[in-house]
Structure 1
């Protein structure tokens, strides 16, 4: 059936829908996160403030096993709109941070379907889903996170994913950090964030069903590592960021996290792959 750039009534009915996910920001979970990020787990205690961007590591959707689809994501209409395209990947986000979570907090995420945009792109028909996540503690807003996911058509026989023309990364970094994306690291991040997307751990599925040459790095982990590096190399407090993923990275690769020196509280950072290609961009604001 030909795809249309007009939103169907069924999908239109999803725009504006909300649901709430509650979370205990427990010490045990924080210590597991710290260990995954190569920090000392014993250095975290109840009541401690978390880094501003760590709210993204909580509030996972807990689908029943019977609601998991063949790609490892929850089936359409369980949590997200039933967009009739089989491949889903994170693309970017826009975040405003008002406060931080503390260990021991009871907090909530209100997930709202902000927009659904079907359109014809250079690579085929796609639909862009924008979710707005509002994090609250005792009614006060901690952060607002708008997240874009791109849904794509199935891979055609012989087609390869992630092979678009590369763009060179900037060559004038003020700081760089190398990071090896080992299988255990990607597994632990996916476990912490309750992400069972098979492209991150099932090489046969990634190659045969989605056209990638190998298992694909988790984009959330890419952003987490880049944000951690930007915060570590910038004075002040992170107040917001805009992120965009531009090129796939593969499990087992070594990437370079890099950034410019801050200017007027703003920092541009990026990820480059082993060939020097630009894979992700990040614009941060600090105060």
Structure 2
């Protein structure tokens, strides 16, 4: 495959669309329950945690537009990148304000970049999407999200088996979290994510080469952000996130973090072997 972007894919760069959202009380209560918070603690007008905007503005595809992997088919919402496997990789977020229960808000989605390249693991394409969240004319957050598209798994090939990297040893705080199947299911339901690797073990093994159903990366970051916000003084102003190694449904992981310094703090997820699975660089103010 070529590292040159095709004219069809080049035509997608810069395209935008808008998703509107009613940040309703019922949805907020479902999110709170999924995150083991009191659903009845929220009332109309209450401010939400600043990073919760990521739990809204789902792309709602018609059922006939869903592909065999559970994602909307290429070209429905995202560019028709001719590689079958897509996984979240990282994001860069600036937060200016928070949503409130009852807001009518919008997300403007832009195809910021499409980068095909040859990687160590084979040919990949990196798609960068820029999401701007607004309440009226006020910008709430700007979120740049990277997804990596990969070639199909070859017979006998396994995914997620790269060399492990040890997590830091100097955590100032730690929180253990069990990633149960019901938790992953409820998160996928809240965010309207039907990617089959998160609930169909046969598909995950046979089609994408994983040993088990895969933990949702968005949920990993949600849990880590929740822990970092709870453990750190000040208001979350932004973060950079990077997923480094797959985690599997049923795993128990440890959420960890450093003490803040000059308003900045690092947090991470490590598995039971002490391997680094995800990392956050947070800014508080």
Structure 2 length-normalised TM: 1.00
* DSSP 3-state at the match of 1:113: strand
Aligned to 2:142: 144
CA distance in structure 2 between the partners assigned to 1:276 and 1:203 by the alignment: 25
Within the candidate set 9, 12, 18, 2:10 is matched to 12
Q: What is the deviation of 1:100?
A: 0.4
CA distance in structure 1 between the partners assigned to 2:213 and 2:166 by the alignment: 23
Equivalent runs, 1:9-48 vs 2, <5 Å: 9-48=7-46
CA distance in structure 2 between the partners assigned to 1:239 and 1:133 by the alignment: 16
2:195 counterpart of 1:182:
no
Aligned to 1:202: 200
Residue-by-residue CA offset, 1:74-116 (whole Å, 9 max, x unaligned): 0000000000000000000000000000000000000000000
* DSSP 3-state at the match of 2:32: helix
CA distance in structure 2 between the partners assigned to 1:141 and 1:170 by the alignment: 35
Within the candidate set 86, 94, 97, 1:96 is matched to 94
Aligned to 2:241: 243
Aligned to 2:255: 257
* DSSP 3-state at the match of 1:221: helix
Aligned to 1:270: 268
CA distance in structure 1 between the partners assigned to 2:135 and 2:51 by the alignment: 15
Q: What is the deviation of 1:139?
A: 1.1
CA distance in structure 1 between the partners assigned to 2:206 and 2:56 by the alignment: 32
CA distance in structure 1 between the partners assigned to 2:154 and 2:206 by the alignment: 10
CA distance in structure 1 between the partners assigned to 2:52 and 2:182 by the alignment: 20
Residue-by-residue CA offset, 1:28-72 (whole Å, 9 max, x unaligned): 000000000000001000000000000000000000000000000
Q: What is the deviation of 1:274?
A: 1.4
Q: What is the RMSD computed on CA atoms of the aligned residues?
A: 0.3
* DSSP 3-state at the match of 2:69: coil
CA distance in structure 1 between the partners assigned to 2:26 and 2:82 by the alignment: 38
Aligned to 2:171: 173
Structure 1 length-normalised TM: 0.99
Q: What is the deviation of 1:230?
A: 0.2
Within the candidate set 57, 60, 68, 1:59 is matched to 57
CA distance in structure 1 between the partners assigned to 2:271 and 2:11 by the alignment: 40
Q: What is the deviation of 1:275?
A: 1.1
- How many correspondences in the alignment? 285
Within the candidate set 165, 172, 190, 1:192 is matched to 190
Residue-by-residue CA offset, 1:227-281 (whole Å, 9 max, x unaligned): 0000000000000000000000000000000000000000000000111100000
Q: Which portions of structure 1, spanning 4 or more consecutive aligned residues, are displaced by more than 4 angstroms?
A: none
